[in-house]
Amino acid sequence: AQSVTQLDSQVPVFEEAPVELRCNYSSSVSVYLFWYVQYPNQGLQLLLKYLSGSTLVESINGFEAEFNKSQTSFHLRKPSVHISDTAEYFCAVTTHGSGNTGKLIFGQGTTLQVKP
Amino acid sequence: KAGVTQTPRYLIKTRGQQVTLSCSPISGHRSVSWYQQTPGQGLQFLFEYFSETQRNKGNFPGRFSGRQFSNSRSEMNVSTLELGDSALYLCASSAGLAGSYNEQFFGPGTRLTVL
C-alpha cells in the first residue's frame, strides 16, 4: 500500500522569503508524484507532477519540486513567495500500472500562510 | 472546454437521511473518481468509475455507493447519514486510459453538512 506524509501541517512565512513544503512517500512499486493546491472554497488544482525523466519539475508560477528516490521525498520549493500563494498544498501519489491512475493517495496537507 | 461540474454545491441533511451527489466530467473523459475531504481525515479516495464500471474502491463502508452513466456522468449516494459524513466531496475526471498517466481534473466540490 502507498502512503504520503507531509511533515508540516502549517508553514508561516513572510512575503518574498523562500519556502519549502516537505513530502515523503512510501511505496513498494514505481509511483507518479503530484503537488496540488487548494484555495479556500475551491477544488484542487494540479501544481506540478513527476512522471519520469528529470527529477526536477517546475510549475509556471515559480514553484519547483525534486523527486529523490533514495530518500522517497518530493519536496516543494519556491524561492520567493507572494501573498497570493497562501493556500493549502497537498502532496499525492499514484502507482504505475493499468487502471491505477484514477486513485490518488494524498498527504494530510500543509497550510502555507504568507504574511506581509 | 467546460470543467468538471458538481451539483449541488451545498447540502444540509439530517442523520439517517440519504443523499445523492452528482458529477459531470469534462467532455470526452471516461473516468470519474470521488474523494471525501474532512479536517480530521484529510482527502480520502472513495471510488473510481470508468465506462460505467467501478474500477477502484477505497476503504469506506457500504453506505457509500456510486454509479456512472453511459454519458460518463457519475452519482454517489450515501445512505443512513451519520454526523461524521459531513465533508467536502470532490470528484475528478480524467481520460482514464489504461497503462498511461491521465491527469485528474477536480470539480469545486459539494459541501455536505449532516445535522
User: Quick one: which of B76, B85, B83, B81 has its CA closest to B34?
Assistant: B76
| Model confidence at A98: pLDDT above 60 | no
Q: CB-CB: which of A42, A100, A108 is closest to B108?
A: A42
pLDDT in tens, B23-52: 999 999 999 999 999 998 999 999 999 999
pLDDT at res. A27: 86
Q: How confident is the model at residue B98 (pLDDT cuts 50, 70, 90)?
A: low
SS3 B85: helix
Q: How confident is the model at residue A94 (pLDDT cuts 50, 70, 90)?
A: confident
Q: How confident is the model at residue A99 (pLDDT cuts 50, 70, 90)?
A: low
Look up residue B78 and give its amino acid: V
Using CB atoms within 10 A of its CB, is residue A8 exposed (0-12), middle (13-18) or buried (19+)? middle
Q: Express as a percent the part of chain B with pLDDT over 70.
A: 97
Q: How confident is the model at residue A109 (pLDDT cuts 50, 70, 90)?
A: very high
Q: Under an 8 Å CB criterion, which residues of A touch B?
A: 32, 36, 41-46, 49, 51, 90, 92, 97-109
Q: How many angstroms away from the CA of B54 is the closest CA of chain A?
A: 11
Pairwise CA distance, residues A92 & A32, whole Å: 8
Q: How confident is the model at residue B99 (pLDDT cuts 50, 70, 90)?
A: low
Nearest chain A alpha carbon to B48? A102
Give contacts of B 1-40 with A, CB under 8 A: 4, 31, 33, 35
Q: How confident is the model at residue A91 (pLDDT cuts 50, 70, 90)?
A: very high
Using CB atoms within 10 A of its CB, is residue A86 exposed (0-12), middle (13-18) or buried (19+)? middle
